[in-house]
Amino acid sequence: MFGKKLYMLLIAGVIMVMAIPSVISAASLKDIPKNYAEEINYLTDRDIVKGFPGGYFKPDEPVTREQAATMVGRALGLDGEKPRKTVFSDVDASSYASGYIQLAYEEDVIHGYGDGTFGPLNEMTRLEMAYLISKAFDYTDDSTSISYSDMPNKKEHVQAINRVTNAGITNGYVDGKFKPDSTITRLEFSIMVARALEPSFKVDGNVSDNEEDKETPPEPEEEEKPEPKPEPKPEPTPEEEAANVDPKTQYVTAYALNVRSGPGVEHGKVGLLYKNDKVTTYQVEDNNWVYIKYDGGKGFVNQKYLTTTKPSIKRKIAIDPGHGGHDPGASGNGLVEKDINLAVSLHLRDYLEDAGIDVVMTRTNDTYLGLDERVDVGVNNDADTFVSIHTNSFSSSSANGSETYYSTASTRTAESKQLATFIQDRMINALGTRDRGVKSAGFRVIKANPLPAALVELGFITNPDDANVLETKQKEAAKAIALGIEDYYEWKEGR
Ligand SMILES: [Zn+2]
């Protein structure tokens, strides 16, 4: 059961929002640049960004360290709206940002200057942003993909910059610089937070695909295409050309890759592919762009992000039996949630392993783990997917049925929704419980999870019929969830 606590939080949240008259609704912010309205509205819709009184976003103002901490804290779903005392000597306990600063410190996301101060009103630099965002969203890939011409000397600084670059948060400026010491504007920082939360906003590895700084004029001689573009040949269309070329099967190597309407970054985005996605390639243009078709679309990508080598995909999933130890979860009809969750999860592990899927368990006995620890178990063990098992409850015994959750605030919403749908379908089929459907909610283990993630509510422990299913059909439930997970892997690998 996640319900009661969440409900209290929601109520607390509503009261807070109503009590602050300066909160501006998304639609009324007057000065959002059109090019980035999607990203900023994404954040305002989720109350991660709130305007200034008068309905202004002030995109070009530098972001202060306390504003950045607040925005990231909200993006992570931290409960920091309430001001509090912090560990930093220069953060006023009554300041609006103090709750998020303290919680972000406790989450090991911020550390301050090392002398006990945080510098809440100081402007944030782009290097500080790289540290903050990579910490907050757990980006660890620090290999070098883009070598900016102005990289700092210190190894740690370079790693932080590589982490945000590899995660598709930024790819520097069009002149090939990162400008680590420049301050970052509210607009730039907001776009990066939006990219961290929503993959379709991410930038791909195309060096010149950057509009962060419209003040910086493009320097075409530093862009990647050395040759001038050949005169467009008087059609054939890509379709006609494709008919004359042997198609090749290739796979995406970039974390996220934009598909464009024409052969170059100046063309609009028409789709988005992820690492290991399968595409069929046709004509390669003189500038190394290639016409492709894939499940769901067609367009052009840069050939250097494709490989003919079929990726070896190992399946490895984290299974999280909810609650445990001093946290029993819900109870009813003589049953205790933590026990049901664990029993079903252990059967689930066995079924998955029988199907050749590696399984990481967050717990295998009656012990307590925090919500973030559960997420960490999956991530730190290289799991590619996360499923949490729970049992529902309600104050009235009549509530019944099974439901599966995903989070729209996750970075992997589309995959998570698909995962939840496959599991829900199989579960309803096998258990015959009422189909309460696939739903979205911000439960922390699925929301703050970098993996595609779903949370299963098997049934209501407080309903006699459901409780009977929970007690007598644990293997059936586990088998059904295992099949749903297999459906998901097949869907994902066949894409
Ligand atoms: Zn629960």
CA distance 397 to 400: 8
Closest C-alpha to 143, from 127, 133, 132, 158: 158
Residue written as token pair 């066949």:
494
Q: Calculate how far, in angstroms, residue 136's C-alpha sits from the geometric centre of ligand 1.
A: 26
92 and 457 Cβ atoms separated by less than 8 Å: no
Taking only the tens place, the pLDDT of each residue in 216-270 is 333 333 334 444 444 444 555 666 666 666 788 999 887 678 889 888 888 888 8
The predicted pLDDT at position 456 comes to 98
Taking only the tens place, the pLDDT of each residue in 454-485 is 999 999 999 999 999 999 999 999 999 999 99
Q: Calculate how far, in angstroms, residue 329's C-alpha sits from the geometric centre of ligand 1.
A: 5
The predicted pLDDT at position 211 comes to 40
Which residues, listed in sequence order, are joined to residue 332 by a DSSP beta bridge? 335
Which residues, listed in sequence order, are joined to residue 437 by a DSSP beta bridge? 403
Six token digits for residue 466: 């459901």
Query: Would you give the distance in Å from CA 473 to the centre of its chain?
Result: 34
Six token digits for residue 235: 């059609």
Active site residue 457: yes
Q: Calculate how far, in angstroms, residue 69's C-alpha sits from the geometric centre of ligand 1.
A: 30
82 and 94 Cβ atoms separated by less than 8 Å: no
388 and 344 Cβ atoms separated by less than 8 Å: no
Task: Provide the residue-wise pLDDT of the chain in tens; the chain has 495 residues.
Answer: 554 444 444 444 333 333 333 334 445 578 887 778 888 888 988 889 888 888 888 888 889 999 999 999 999 989 999 999 999 999 999 999 999 999 999 988 998 888 889 999 989 999 999 999 999 999 988 888 777 888 888 889 999 999 998 888 988 876 778 889 888 989 899 999 999 988 778 776 443 333 443 333 333 333 344 444 444 445 556 666 666 667 889 998 876 788 898 888 888 888 888 777 889 998 787 788 999 998 778 999 998 889 988 776 689 999 999 999 999 999 999 999 999 999 999 999 999 999 999 999 999 999 999 999 999 999 999 899 999 999 999 989 999 999 999 998 887 888 999 999 999 999 999 999 999 999 998 899 999 898 999 999 999 999 999 999 999 999 999 999 999 999 999 988 775
CA distance 92 to 102: 11
- Phi and psi (nearest 5°) for 249? -90, 130
Q: Calculate how far, in angstroms, residue 1's C-alpha sits from the geometric centre of ligand 1.
A: 3
Catalytic one among 457, 476, 486, 493? 457
Q: Calculate how far, in angstroms, residue 348's C-alpha sits from the geometric centre of ligand 1.
A: 17
Q: For the whole model, what pTM was predicted?
A: 0.47
Neighbours of 249 (CB within 10 A): 11
